[in-house]
Amino acid sequence: MKVGFIGTGDMGFGMAVNMAKGQKNFTYQVFARRPEVLSQLQAKGIATTNTLSEVGDSDYLFLCLPNAEVVTQILTTLLPGLKAGQTIIDCSTINYFAAQELWQKLAEQGIDFLDCPVSGMHARAMNGTLTIMCGGKEESFKKIKPLLAYMGATILYMGQCGAGQLTKAINNCIYNICFASFCELMPLGVKLGLDAENLGKVITSGTGSSYAAQNFIPKILADDFYAGFSLRKAYKDMLSIADISNKNHIPLPTFNGTLETYQLALQKVDGNLYKHAMIKVYEEILGVQCRAKKKEVEK
């Protein structure tokens, strides 16, 4: 059995390395273009290639790519060489409808396709403890679950093709709504005289707390807006749910309010900054800053 992996970016690199834990059970090869990535993988004893077709004959081919356009481009390039019976496992985060279209296109050639996006950020990709949510045939999921276990700690079958992407989009949008809430309300508190640090302590420890608040309010207080998943990428995730909502006539008032918040932020703030940078919009409107007070250095 041969396993291949394509996509060695922020998430994919750690996933590709962790998959190599199973090399005693199967033949394994990773595709990468950047020489520095190839060198890092080779130093870990992982077989590599910079020729796409060399991983195209894998029985199980994993993808972890930036967006649906790149996934489609890679699969279109590989398609003439793919054979019936192969399985494509896409761990990228792409549009729900795009996943279904890819499944249909590959199924016409007898190639199985599962959408298996991941959640957990870079650190959990590196230590192999990701949450992986899967869509596709249940019998196919059972076959690949042992492979997914090299990369993830929580691995769930969510339903037919597209179900993994739908689950990921819902999870991401709940996360995004959390960011929008404290970015909008913290400046209000500071405008009316609350201390930003103490307010942050309450939000990160009280009933209004969330993973987003606990990890990113300290960054707001420290004036750190440069690490992680950008505003622009977060907005793309939200468009997937907006598309589903529109096509199915499902009202989502809280979500739609948050979508407008991200649109406003992208008009005013550098879209390459992390999501909590949207607080800058409300700080500018109210003429305040939610930062920690500089500590005086003892002489």
Question: Residue 234: which of 190, 152, 293, 175 has the closest Cα?
Answer: 175
Same domain as 28, residue 57 = yes
pLDDT of residue 295: 67
Same domain as 121, residue 87 = yes
Same domain as 119, residue 252 = no
Same domain as 116, residue 37 = yes
Same domain as 32, residue 145 = yes
Residue 39 lies inside a defined structural domain of this protein: yes
Share of the chain above pLDDT 70, in %: 98
The pairing of beta strand 112-115 with beta strand 87-90 = parallel
Residue 63 lies inside a defined structural domain of this protein: yes
Residue 89 lies inside a defined structural domain of this protein: yes
Domain extent at residue 70: 2-160
Q: How do residues 225-239 score in pLDDT, each as one tens digit? A: 986 778 998 898 899
CATH code for position 37: 3.40.50.720
Residue 299 lies inside a defined structural domain of this protein: no
What is the overall mean pLDDT for the chain?
95
* 195 Cβ neighbours under 8 A, 6+ residues apart: 293
pLDDT of residue 237: 84
pLDDT of residue 299: 44
pLDDT of residue 297: 46
Same domain as 177, residue 141 = no
Same domain as 8, residue 73 = yes
Q: How do residues 143-181 score in pLDDT, each as one tens digit? A: 999 999 999 999 999 999 999 999 999 999 999 999 999
Task: Show which of 160, 187, 219 is a domain's final residue.
Answer: 160
* 67 Cβ neighbours under 8 A, 6+ residues apart: 92, 93, 94, 236
Same domain as 137, residue 52 = yes
Q: How far is CA 43 from the centre of its chain?
A: 27
Task: Show which of 110, 142, 160 is a domain's final residue.
Answer: 160
Residue 185 lies inside a defined structural domain of this protein: yes
Same domain as 62, residue 197 = no
Same domain as 243, residue 132 = no
The pairing of beta strand 60-63 with beta strand 2-6 = parallel
CATH code for position 184: 1.10.1040.10
Residue 179's H or E segment, with its range, is helix 163-191
Task: Show which of 125, 160, 195 is a domain's final residue.
Answer: 160
The pairing of beta strand 112-115 with beta strand 27-31 = unpaired
Residue 128 lies inside a defined structural domain of this protein: yes
Same domain as 52, residue 187 = no
Residue with tokens 């059972």: 142
Using the predicted structure, report yes or no on whether residue 47 has a pLDDT greater than 70.
Answer: yes
**pTM for this prediction:** 0.91
* Distance separating alpha carbons of residues 153 and 148, to the nearest angstrom: 9
Do residues 148 and 123 touch, judged by C-beta distance below 8 A?
A: no
Residue 243 lies inside a defined structural domain of this protein: yes
Do residues 235 and 263 touch, judged by C-beta distance below 8 A?
A: yes
Read off the pLDDT band of 296 (50, 70, 90). low
Residue 208 lies inside a defined structural domain of this protein: yes
Q: How do residues 49-105 score in pLDDT, each as one tens digit? A: 999 999 999 999 999 999 999 999 999 999 999 999 999 999 999 999 999 999 999
Q: How do residues 97-139 score in pLDDT, each as one tens digit? A: 999 999 999 999 999 999 999 998 889 999 999 999 999 999 9
Same domain as 99, residue 116 = yes
Query: Domain tally for the chain?
Result: 2
